[in-house]
Amino acid sequence: MSSRLSYYLQRSVRFLSPAPPVIANRYPRLHNVLWVTKAAGYALLFGHLITTYGFSYTGTWGVSMLPSIASSGDFVLISKFYRHGRGLEVGDLVTYKHPYHGDQGLYGIKRLVGLPGDFVLRDSPGAKEGVMIQVPQGHCWIVGDNLPLSRDSRMFGPIPLGLIKGKVIAKSQLFGRDFKWMKNPLQDVADDMHDEEDETI
Amino acid sequence: MAPLVETFHPARLQQHIQYQADGKVRKPPVDLRQCALKELIQYECDLRGPLNDPKSKVVCDPVLKLFRKCANGLTVETTSWEDIHDR
């Protein structure tokens, strides 16, 4: 074996074998502190990963989503797989970073009424001029369930899909009491309504 | 700021839905009457009775919104259009 090859072999073997635990042997208390710090750091990192890309469970407040979500005391389970509007459908409940107060950490929950290219009423049904708009590319239209007491797209216009952070998939009270999966309320029109239409025509 | 968008009267909806968000013409053309009719109920909730009275209750009146869901994934709110499209 050439001398150079054996040199590299030795180096790599030294690299592969673990170094003697200097800190653990000489400063056991420091070693413990370091270990706890590292574990806390990993916990924070994984917590952030999970709440950004996985799921989060958080309390809500405000009257804009009555009666779907109570004005206080309701908790929601949010799936972040739907962030940036991925896989969403009209009628879903979405969480979004507030377009004006998002840097202060304000997030909202509203109902998704229009995706890019869809057409929506600009105001509540029967209010103002009753004009319609097309939701622009990369944007969506969100409206609270409690129409008179909700500040939403009717006020600040379509919001970028990048502000959509997730979809509300369930709600409950504190500690999971009264746990309920959310259903998309966009339904086929009931049959009796079709009958009425037929009679008038 | 949200981008500026054109507003139009619901009677012109059938003409406007022929265009995608990027301004291109939809092919094949969409006929709203052929799309599935859907409904979404939202609410007008308010406190009935005086403020700070424990007997006062929050009452929600339903507000019906109608939608048409077309085959190519287009969803159109037709709450106003349903009443006027025959004229």
Shared domain for A32 and A62, answered yes or no, is no
Shared domain for A25 and A95, answered yes or no, is no
pLDDT digits (tens, 9 = 90+) for A80-116: 999 999 999 999 999 999 999 988 989 999 999 999 9
Nearest CB among A67, A115, A186 relative to B40 is that of A186
Nearest CB among A90, A120, A134 relative to B21 is that of A134
Shared domain for A60 and A112, answered yes or no, is yes
At position B60, the amino acid (one-letter code) is C
Domain encompassing residue B60: 10-84
pLDDT at position A52: 92
Higher pLDDT, A130 or B86: A130
pLDDT at position A92: 95
pLDDT at position A174: 85
Shared domain for A155 and A175, answered yes or no, is yes
Spell out, as residue ranges, where chain A has pLDDT lower than 70: 1, 14-15, 191-201
Residue closest to A80 by CA, chosen among A49, A115, A54, A50:
A54
Bridge partners of residue B77, in order along the sequence:
B67
The answer to the question of residue B3 being in a domain is no
pLDDT at position A199: 45
Number of domains, chain A: 2
Angle at the Cα of A11 from the Cα atoms of A5 and A13, rounded to 5 degrees? 100
pLDDT at position A201: 41
pLDDT at position A122: 93
Domain encompassing residue A127: 56-179
- In angstroms, the separation between the Cα of residue B31 and the nearest Cα of chain A is 14
Note whether ipTM > 0.85 here: yes
Q: Which residues of A touch B67 (CB under 8 A)?
A: 90, 186
Of the residues A80, A110, A165, A167, only one is catalytic, namely A110
* pLDDT greater than 70 at residue B71: yes
Q: Tell me if the pTM is above 0.90.
A: no
Inter-chain residue contact B77 with A146, CB threshold 8 Å: no
Q: Give B39's Cβ-side CA count (13 Å radius).
A: 11
Contact B74, B3 (CB under 8 A): no
Q: Which residues of A touch B2 (CB under 8 A)?
A: 99, 136, 139, 156-159
Number of domains, chain B: 1
Contact A163, A85 (CB under 8 A): no
The answer to the question of residue A200 being in a domain is no
CA distance A132 to B37: 18
Lowest mean pLDDT across A87-91, B69-73, B83-87: B83-87
Q: How far apart are the first and last CA of chain A?
A: 98
Shared domain for A43 and A84, answered yes or no, is no
Residues of B with CB under 8 A from a CB of A: 1-3, 5-10, 13, 16-17, 19-22, 36-46, 58, 60, 63-67, 69, 74-77, 79-80
* pLDDT greater than 80 at residue B54: yes
* pLDDT greater than 60 at residue B72: yes
* pLDDT greater than 80 at residue B87: no
A165 is catalytic: no
The answer to the question of residue B33 being in a domain is yes
